[in-house]
Structures are given as structure tokens and as C-alpha cells.
A and B are shown apart, each in its own frame.
Chain A
């Protein structure tokens, strides 16, 4: 089972460049989300989606865009990278959002991004 797959694992960008972090899951999960991990800050929610065509902002959405055209994929776009976006990014998914928030999150392996 592939689970949650993130690509790339590592990326170095220059300030102002754009890129897309890919996330795909093969578990038919409705709920997908992006977090960033920074020292001393734990995991902070960037954007999330409760199904195809539906997205919403998390705690730290500025500088990031998302879309959800299929159940399987939830890409995260950095439009103009800034050094403050240097971080480790995790994608996570789960079943049954909202009405039954008792389903655990499954995490991808992470993308380490450096913006110079």
C-alpha cells in the first residue's frame, strides 16, 4: 500500500521562484491537509480540503495556494517563494471529516524545502 505519497523529498529554491509540492493518497480519503513543521512551533496547518472541489485556509495560509480537483491529489503551490517558507512540509489525509472527527491522520514522508 502506497498510503500518502509526497514529492519531492527535498527542494532548494531561490527567492521569488514558484513551485508545487505534490501529495497523493490511494486510500480514498475525503480529508486532506498540508502542515509545515518549524523548530519550536510543532505542526501548523496551512490549508485543508474536505473533498474534491472544496478547500479552506488553516492557521498559516499566506503565500500558499491549493486546489483539489480529484479525491486523490492535493497539491500545494508556492507562488513566489520567500526565505520564511523554508520548512518541512507534511501532507496528511483521513476518512470522514466533520461529522466523525474520530479518524486518525495518515502522514506523508515530508518535503524539506529551503528558500535561499
Chain B
């Protein structure tokens, strides 16, 4: 059974502070690693799709790194703002039969 783990489950960060959280996935048969942002009462939206070991993606104040050999990815948010409050999900294609499995997410709360 494929296991995609995200930590921490929940995080409270002061506005203006930077933060990061982790997605762990099986390192064998790697295809890609997805990050999604999910605001309350909305649908998940893709942030990044990462495919290469050592890959680093950036979108404004949000960036992500990927280590396929050890099976983890970090998502970083620099200078947190209230609009960053959301659940951040990572997703992993299980294998070539295309199942895309999600972790349980990290719920980020930005404190004013």
C-alpha cells in the first residue's frame, strides 16, 4: 500500500515569519511529486509538479525542493501572509497505472 506522509499535520505561524513542511514518499519507482494548495470551501489548486531529483520550483513567496533518493520534498513559504492560510497537499503517482495518491495535508494557520 502506497504511503504518502505529510508533517506536521497542523502549523500555526505568525504573520511575516517563514515556515516549511515536509512530504515523504516511497523513493522507489518515482514518477513525479505534486504540491497543491487547498483553501477552505474551495477546490485544490496545483502549485508545483516536480519530476527531477534536486528540482527546485518557485512561485512568488512559495518554493519547493525535491529529493527522490531519500523520498522527501519540502515546501517553503517566506514571509507568511494571511492569504497563505490553507491546507497544503502533496500527491504522488503510485506507478505507471496512474493512481495519484494524496497525503493527508498540512493545515497552515497564519496568526495576525
Contact = CB atoms under 8 A, between A and B. Distances in A.
Interface stretch (B14-22, B68-76, B78-86, B92-100): B92-100
B98 A42 contact: no
The bracket for how many chain B residues form the interface is 20 to 34
A90 B43 contact: yes
B98 to A, nearest CB: 4
Given A104-B46, A105-B34, A105-B46, A45 B99 contact: yes
B43 A103 contact: no
Contacts of B103: 42
A53 interface: no
Contact of A107 (B44, B93, B98): B44
Interface stretch (A21-29, A69-77, A94-102): A94-102
Contacts of A31: 98
Nearest to B50: A102
Given A43-B44, A101-B93, A108-B43, A35 B99 contact: no
Chain A, interface residues (CB within 8 Å), range? 20 to 34
A35 B102 contact: yes
A103 B100 CA distance: 11
Nearest to B102: A43
A53 to B, nearest CB: 15
A109 interface: yes
Interface in A73-116: 90, 92, 97-99, 101-110
Interface in A51-81: 56, 58-59
Contacts of A107: 43-45
Interface string A1-37: 0000000000000000000000000000001010100
- Which of A97, A103, A105, A106 has its CB near the most chain B CB atoms (within 10 A)? A105
Interface of B: 31-32, 34, 36, 42-46, 49, 51, 89, 91, 93, 96-105
